Structure 1
């Protein structure tokens, strides 16, 4: 060693380092020192930023103490029972004590098995996740703790950046410093999203299993615990196999965590998902609820509806609604089976029930299946009602002095129209003519020609005025085809109009909401039923009695199976494309429509009598059940008189008809029957009939009606009305637009367009080339 040192000092050492290498080593040492200093400075600056500056831009974790979830709107039925909620997010808070230990263990074992030992962030967990993800070649495990996930849900945006991860870590440390582990877990279990609009474990338990979270078993808890990682991908409703595999993974984690035995995990993994049955997932009355939502948003705005905590008490009767939905499904299935249509060709149907004394809508079905089509055919679709419109013509006739016994000649008639010389030859459904026909018989057998002649004589404006008084707001044709129901109406407005007949002439506007309170229970809206007198009670009873004949002897005889007083009218349009039946008892009025969304034939002879009447009858028989039979009250000024339908007046075909006192025929089939004056005899007093034009070729001032059929009260009739052109058609009312719901809320409604005409209106007036609507 000494010799080596001497050689080195003397310069004789052959192994002495070269000058270039020495300089390189010095520079390397200097560089390492500089990098170390810079790294230390960077760490110091980062630490200063993370723990001194960054927290200033973060929300205080104490905000958790004052956290209030968004309050949605609760909707109740007619018995004040909760139907559903409209909300941005469905969240129901429950304390940790009510959450079963099995669910807590499943969540911790799956999401953060070191939850009770780390201090907000878990370096070991992060390292383990890195190794697992590297081995699998994909992301199979995350490193975020339950505390970090909670901070992300409550305070941060979902973007992926270094700054957000640092904020997440700082907030997690602060949460751990302020709150106990159980408090953090409780907040997490009430905040995390579990899919299908369910936030928190209570909402998840109700959504997937139809029970409270406290009632969950281990199998159900394991399924719910597997959802937060990817609620859509593991949705048991949409991806049951993926949900089952995810549940199996959770069970294995619970075995590793030591909360269940391996044998139990394997047994539970083989079991089915045990979800709530499909029929219980659907809220009763989806079409009705959509209509309520649309009404609320139009008046209060979407923010108030979804965040204002309203309590809405509706008119819906759940029992009636369930029967209505089933009746429509059964009726459409029977039609499809009968006609042999392909399964892809789905006829649609709608049903509305209204309480005529209040206007309350008790049931509403807008189609075969809301989840197949959200288009509400009860309120959005305008279709030609055919003969279901005829009662308005006959109300106009009764108000003009006609009676149920007035006879009009059912014979061929030609109406010239326009400058091109076209002619319109209206026909009856059966292509037959009956000769002198009473209005009672014309209503019962839905005689087109008689209805058109009556319309011509009382005036088109008079019928339009009657329809407007009965709440018909849709545009109405200003020509004689109006009598045959060629104007497009909604089922709701037509059913509501018939309600005035049942309510002794008082029309009640249809409503779906009784009253509304705010979140504190303060009343903010109340709909007290207020009626409008649309006609005299005597007129309402007479038209009701005429419509009872439709059921007793006419086109609606299928409804006789109800075994109680019913008044009704059928309706069918061209090529059997629309089938209607509007019928009522003293306490309920129900309308049924059946057709295709794109107008086409339902099938030969598929009339309102054959298609709609069975649906109506099946529904009403179940709704009324064993309730006492109730008849329509007879006003004091109405008398019931037996009348012969035959002009011979030999009292062979006797029908009891209703008349306002003083208008009943002097010659009738009662105990003191007298013969009607023979044909050709002058009308009583020979006086002209105001408002009734003379028949072609008849002397001026004489009635065009069959002699002897002029009501005694003719001189008291209203004066002639102005031409139909003087009354402009009303523009259809536009339905208010509706905003799409935010993600996660109950899928109740889609944007609604204004009600649209789905069937062509016969153009041109009486001379239109289109055939008369089918009208049985």
Structure 2
């Protein structure tokens, strides 16, 4: 008994001890678990902090969408939309109909306005689903999170991306209101086929604004972004219909539409108003390239934008993706006609020949059309209408006869003694046919592009008005020369390189009574914030009205018999013009054995009271063996053919003519400044000796309709200089009488004889360097 009592006593003592041990163990286990949980929390917090630290910088620019630029014509009609990045049309929150908002909320985030950056209620359910279905099985992204993912992150599913998404979402909701975030979502979301944003999608699929969609179409667009390619109606119409029905069900479930509205919309097929698109059309819509017919004009618009102080220090990409509306001076019909004609292969000798052309409104100077080349592509191709090219004798009205009329009031029948050769300080000049034509009027000399009278007019202006008179006259039509203008420049020397756009503006001033207007493409720009930026242009008096009118009347002769563009005028339209032809340097002809009449650059710049058009055609390099690198005599009229083709299509045929000012008296080819009795004056040969400005330095060049030898190294550039030995034969030249005006009732039929090579003057080395700056004219 005593043993039994002892045993029981022992057991009673051990039981409390065991209980205490179990309790300690439990406490220890829970302590370990708590510490483990705490460690996990600390690690999680640290990991979250690390991921947040690695997250992309939160900045406003990343939240901005790449918005397209819209180009409007002179009548404020939309011409083209430029998508520099993603196809996207921005819509403001207030412009979004309530039905679209309800559809998006019911489908994507019904409690958007009730929760913060994260919806913890949906998140907990998603977490449980992910435990059973694997990570990423179900998401609980709010609209805020979706905006963050589109703006800063990728679609990759990972703990790191989710942590960064949560952090950036919190930041976003601190900086922006719910409505602003909702607007971001509506403009960032992807709708398949390269389309971003609800407004863009509405127009792409249904050709409607958001406010004009029916309920079925609204529901489809609201549900499409979940899996855009899978629900694309063009590829999967059945899946698209089912997705629409699901969205309608969710809208009714959340009390955003009635059951009746749901049933009616579910019974409405979404392809009823669907824009029909072929696979090719869908692919073309995704290429995001501007229409080819407008590409040259767009290129010019970009040049003007970057030069405006309102866009200073901004990259072109930033400018063009900021949602601008650009209102231009483009005439769509003129632009299309010009580009289509330039694209026409019949105007070309071969694929290496290139073209640039610009058309401005003669009265206002506004750029109505421009072509940078055949099948021009912006960014890829150089714009030949804004690039500089040797002008040949295109500038005789501006460097010779214009200054003579302006300063000495020469009459149009003022006569010059033309000679078979002319010596200026040791440089020998000749006409394109190598002949002298006796006493010729200024009007005929200009129309036929004789060189000697042009040089004499230039010399006499220097003698009577000063050596800066010619340079000043040119500068007033924005043809600026760095150095003094010598005889080579008059006939197309190395300084006389300008673009078709510059020449179009300069010649338009002659058709506009002497007022110069700078060619501009942009009238105004309206920003995404509705700020209007006005674009100004230079407009000023460039010459006296009598100078402009008399030059115009003389240049009409270019299209008359014996004129350098005879046969290519516009029937029924009063038009004036000047041609120009430039050749290679002498060494190029020798090296490649080019024919003597081979031309590198050919021009025509002409104007009517309505339009002024400048055309350049030519080559930028000589190919091996010289093949496909020049235009022969018969091919040098191609610019004239193109000019005729385009101007014939765009002109009004209203019989309008250039208005004769009161400062001019006389008619036809006998015009003079009122009160001036210069009509019977004949200029003799200007002296071959005298100051350098009058005669030019020693020049070595053969030029338009001309032969010359000189020693000036400046004029020896092989890129744009012509050759003394290279002469052009002209059909319009041989029948001209040397002392009388050519008859206008019939065209010349004989070809002029080819002139002999000029000899160098004594005392210089012209023969060795002859003809580096030549230009010969049709």
Shift of 1:525: 4.8
Shift of 1:694: 3.3
Q: Is the counterpart of residue 604 in structure 1 residue 654 in structure 2?
A: no
Shift of 1:720: 11
1:323 — aligned with what? 334
Q: 2:307 aligns with which of 283, 295, 305?
A: 295
1:469 — aligned with what? 476
Q: Counterparts of 2:206 and 2:167 in 1: how far apart (Å)?
A: 37
Q: Counterparts of 2:238 and 2:134 in 1: how far apart (Å)?
A: 20
| Structure 1 segment 233-312 matched on structure 2, within 5 A | 272=278, 275=282, 282=290, 284=294, 285-296=297-308, 300-302=312-314, 306=319
Shift of 1:542: 0.9
1:510 — aligned with what? 519
The answer as to whether partners of 1:404 and 1:659 remain within 8 angstroms in 2 is yes
Q: Counterparts of 1:758 and 1:413 in 2: how far apart (Å)?
A: 24
Alignment partner of 1:544: what SS?
Answer: helix
Q: Is the counterpart of residue 190 in structure 1 residue 183 in structure 2?
A: no
Q: Relative to structure 1, is the Cα distance of residues 630 and 469 closer, same or farther in structure 2, using a 3 angstrom cutoff?
A: same
1:774 — aligned with what? 776
Q: Relative to structure 1, is the Cα distance of residues 513 and 371 closer, same or farther in structure 2, using a 3 angstrom cutoff?
A: closer
1:396-423 Cα shifts (integer Å, max 9, x gaps):
23334543323334443264878xxxx6
Q: Counterparts of 2:431 and 2:504 in 1: how far apart (Å)?
A: 27
The answer as to whether partners of 1:387 and 1:572 remain within 8 angstroms in 2 is yes
Q: Counterparts of 1:530 and 1:759 in 2: how far apart (Å)?
A: 33
2:731 — aligned with what? none
Q: 1:614 aligns with which of 634, 641, 645?
A: 641
The answer as to whether partners of 1:153 and 1:191 remain within 8 angstroms in 2 is no
Q: Is the counterpart of residue 405 in structure 1 residue 428 in structure 2?
A: no
Shift of 1:31: 10
Q: Relative to structure 1, is the Cα distance of residues 263 and 604 closer, same or farther in structure 2, using a 3 angstrom cutoff?
A: farther
Q: Counterparts of 1:271 and 1:521 in 2: how far apart (Å)?
A: 33
| Structure 1 segment 611-650 matched on structure 2, within 5 A | 611-625=638-652, 628-641=654-667
Q: Counterparts of 2:111 and 2:353 in 1: how far apart (Å)?
A: 56
Q: Counterparts of 1:412 and 1:183 in 2: how far apart (Å)?
A: 80
Alignment partner of 1:335: what SS?
Answer: helix
1:741 — aligned with what? none
1:505-547 Cα shifts (integer Å, max 9, x gaps):
2223334444567778777656376413x22211211111101
Alignment partner of 1:563: what SS?
Answer: coil
| Structure 1 segment 668-707 matched on structure 2, within 5 A | 693-694=686-687
Shift of 1:93: 2.7
Q: Relative to structure 1, is the Cα distance of residues 458 and 388 closer, same or farther in structure 2, using a 3 angstrom cutoff?
A: same
1:367-407 Cα shifts (integer Å, max 9, x gaps):
33453555563664100112221111111233345433233
Q: Counterparts of 1:37 and 1:280 in 2: how far apart (Å)?
A: 58
1:485 — aligned with what? 492
Q: Counterparts of 1:416 and 1:666 in 2: how far apart (Å)?
A: 26
The answer as to whether partners of 2:51 and 2:164 remain within 8 angstroms in 1 is yes
Q: Is the counterpart of residue 549 in structure 1 residue 566 in structure 2?
A: no
Q: Relative to structure 1, is the Cα distance of residues 456 and 211 closer, same or farther in structure 2, using a 3 angstrom cutoff?
A: farther
The answer as to whether partners of 1:577 and 1:596 remain within 8 angstroms in 2 is yes
Shift of 1:98: 3.8
| Structure 1 segment 23-42 matched on structure 2, within 5 A | 36-42=33-39
The count of aligned residue pairs is 633
TM-score, normalisation: structure 2: 0.63
Q: Counterparts of 2:414 and 2:171 in 1: how far apart (Å)?
A: 90
Q: Counterparts of 1:97 and 1:396 in 2: how far apart (Å)?
A: 63
Q: Counterparts of 2:676 and 2:658 in 1: how far apart (Å)?
A: 21
Q: 1:590 aligns with which of 574, 590, 613?
A: 613
Taking only aligned residues, the RMSD between alpha carbons, in angstroms, comes to 6.0
1:90-148 Cα shifts (integer Å, max 9, x gaps):
5223569648879958x998x899999986756777898999999xxxx9x88463536
Q: Relative to structure 1, is the Cα distance of residues 537 and 331 closer, same or farther in structure 2, using a 3 angstrom cutoff?
A: same
Q: Is the counterpart of residue 565 in structure 1 residue 574 in structure 2?
A: yes
Q: Counterparts of 2:267 and 2:139 in 1: how far apart (Å)?
A: 26
2:355 — aligned with what? 348
Q: Relative to structure 1, is the Cα distance of residues 694 and 131 closer, same or farther in structure 2, using a 3 angstrom cutoff?
A: farther
Q: Counterparts of 2:270 and 2:155 in 1: how far apart (Å)?
A: 36
Shift of 1:202: 0.6
Alignment partner of 2:474: what SS?
Answer: helix
Q: Is the counterpart of residue 444 in structure 1 residue 440 in structure 2?
A: no
Alignment partner of 2:547: what SS?
Answer: helix
Bigger mean CA deviation after superposition, 514-523 or 396-405: 514-523
Bigger mean CA deviation after superposition, 360-369 or 305-314: 305-314
Q: Counterparts of 2:404 and 2:278 in 1: how far apart (Å)?
A: 67
Q: 1:145 aligns with which of 105, 127, 141?
A: 141
Q: Counterparts of 1:346 and 1:235 in 2: how far apart (Å)?
A: 49
Q: Relative to structure 1, is the Cα distance of residues 720 and 310 closer, same or farther in structure 2, using a 3 angstrom cutoff?
A: farther
Q: Relative to structure 1, is the Cα distance of residues 76 and 451 closer, same or farther in structure 2, using a 3 angstrom cutoff?
A: same
Show structure 1 runs of 5+ residues with no match.
Answer: 1-27, 237-241, 643-655, 668-682, 701-718, 727-756
Q: Is the counterpart of residue 371 in structure 1 residue 371 in structure 2?
A: no
